[in-house]
Chains A and B, each alone.
Chain A
C-alpha cells in the first residue's frame, strides 16, 4: 500500500506535534544523554517521512517513532566505546519498528518537564529548554520567538544540558514534598510562553504561535497530572484569554475589554475554558491560576461591561491578593471596586497604591487612574494621567490607544 505524499507529510507533521516530546523524553530516560535523544528523535522523524510513504502510516505512529529512535540510539552507541554501558541497557529494549510493542510505552514527558523547569536552571533557560525538548521547536524558532540571537540561544541550550548532566539535576518527577514548589515553576514557564505569544498583538507569526504551544503543553500537563487542579486552572486561563484574542487589537491599536466586539469572542474556547475551570474548582484547592481563570470567566460570560459581575470579580481579586500578593493584583481589584461600588471607592484604592510607590514607573497605574477619572467626568485630571501613561507605555498598540483616548477627551 502506498499513501500519497500529502497524507504522509500531514501524518508526520501531526506526529511531530504530538509525539516529539514523548520520543525525546523516552530516549533521555533510556540513555541519559539529551543530545543523543534529540538527534535520534530527529532521525526517526526523517525516517518516518520515507518509510511511511512506502509502507503506509503505522497504526501507532508514536510507538513506531520511539522504537525507530531507540534503534538509532543503539546504532550510534555501538560505534562509541563509551556507549557500551548505555548500550547494554538499550539492547534489551530494541525492537523491530514494524512490530508494535505489546506493552504501553510509559509517558516520560512528566519527568522531562520537571527537569526542564528545575529551579537550578536560570528562568529563561527553562523556557527555552521546554520549547526545544518538549514542544520540538528548533533553536532558530525559539530564538526568533523569544527575540534572542540564534547563536546565543544555541549556547544557552548547550549550557543547560551540560548543567543538567554535570550538576546532577535528577531526571524524575519530584517527591510529594517538593511537588507544589516544582509544579509552580512549570506553570510559570508555561504561562510565560503563553504571554510571550499573547503580547505580540499583530505581526510576527512565530511569536503569536507561542500561545498555541503553551496551550498544547498545558493540555499534556493536565493529562499527566489529572488530580492537580492548578494545571487545569492555567489551561482554563489560557483558553479564556485566547478566546478574546482577535478582538484585543484593531489595526495595531489596543482595544480594552469595554470596547471589544464580544460577538467575535470564540464561544467554543470559552465553553471549554469554563468547563476546564469547573473541573479544577471541584477539587476545592483554589490556587492563583484557578482564581485568575475564574476572573477571566466572569468577563468572558458577561454580555457587556455593565452587566459583568463586578462584586464577584472584586472578591476573586481579594482572594488572589491573599494567595499571590502583588501590587498589580491590587490595581485590578481597585478597578473591580470602582465598577461595583462607584468610581470614588476605586480611585481611593488606586491613590493608596500610588502613594505606596510599589507601582512606580508602571504605565497601567496612571492609565487606570485616567480611565476612572474619565468615567467620573474629571477630564482635566484624566488628561494629565493619560499623558503620564503615554510616556511609560511599552508597546505601540498601547501608545496608540492612549493617544486616542487623549484626543477623545
Chain B
C-alpha cells in the first residue's frame, strides 16, 4: 500500500530545518523510515504565509493569498510511504515529531 502522510500543525511551533534535524524524535523517525525502507518521497513545506491558492471559476483564474482551507491546522510537509498496511502507516505516523503537538493525516494513494 502507498500512503501520503500529511504532516500538520497550527504553525505555532515552527522549528527551523536545522532545529528539526537536531531533534532526537525527528532523528528516530528518520531512522525508523530508513529501517523499514518505506519512504518514497517527501518534502517540508514553507509556512502558509508563503502559500498561494489558485482557483478557476467560469474560465477565470482566481489567485489568492494563503492556504486552500481556512482551518486551524495546516499541512507543513508530506511524505509518501509504501508499507504493508494501515497499522504500519499508523506506527510510522506516530513516530513523527509533529504528531506530538499537531497531527499526521494518513491518506491512501488513489492508484
Question: Which chain A residues have a beta carbon within 8 Å of chain B's beta carbons?
Answer: 118, 120, 166-170, 174, 178
Chain A residues near B50: list those with CB within 8 A: none
B60 at interface, CB cutoff 8 A: no
Q: Would you give the shortest CB distance from A243 to chain B, in whole angstroms?
A: 39
Residues of B within 8 A of A120 (CB): 86, 90
- Across-interface contacts of B87 in A (CB, < 8 A): 169-170, 174, 178
A169 to B108, CA, bound (A): 11
Chain A residues lying within 8 Å of B106, measured Cβ to Cβ, are 167
Q: Which residue of B lies closest to A174 (CB)?
A: B87
Interface SS of B by simple majority: mixed
Number of A-B contacts (CB under 8 A): 23
Given contacts A168-B89, A169-B87, 5 further A-B pairs with CB under 8 A are A167-B106, A168-B3, A168-B86, A169-B85, A170-B85
Taking the closest CB of chain B, its distance from the CB of A260, in whole angstroms, is 45
Cα(A118)–Cα(B85), bound, Å: 13
- Minimum CB–CB distance for B4 against chain A, Å: 12
Number of B interface residues in the complex (CB < 8 A): 10
Minimum CB–CB distance from B89 to chain A (whole Å) comes to 7
Minimum Cβ distance to chain B for residue A28 (Å): 15
> When chains A and B are docked, how far (Å) is the Cα of A168 from the Cα of B111?
13
Task: Note all chain B residues with C-beta closer than 8 A to A178.
Answer: 87
Q: Show 23 residue pairs from A and B whose CB-CB distance is below 8 angstroms, ordered by the A residue.
A: A118-B86, A120-B86, A120-B90, A166-B108, A167-B86, A167-B106, A167-B108, A168-B1, A168-B3, A168-B84, A168-B85, A168-B86, A168-B89, A168-B108, A169-B85, A169-B86, A169-B87, A170-B84, A170-B85, A170-B86, A170-B87, A174-B87, A178-B87
Residues of A within 8 A of B86 (CB): 118, 120, 167-170
| Distance A170 CA – B90 CA, assembled complex (angstroms) | 12
Among all A-B residue pairs, the 4 with the closest Cβ atoms: A170-B85, A168-B1, A168-B85, A168-B86
In the complex, A174 Cα to B88 Cα: how many Å? Answer: 11
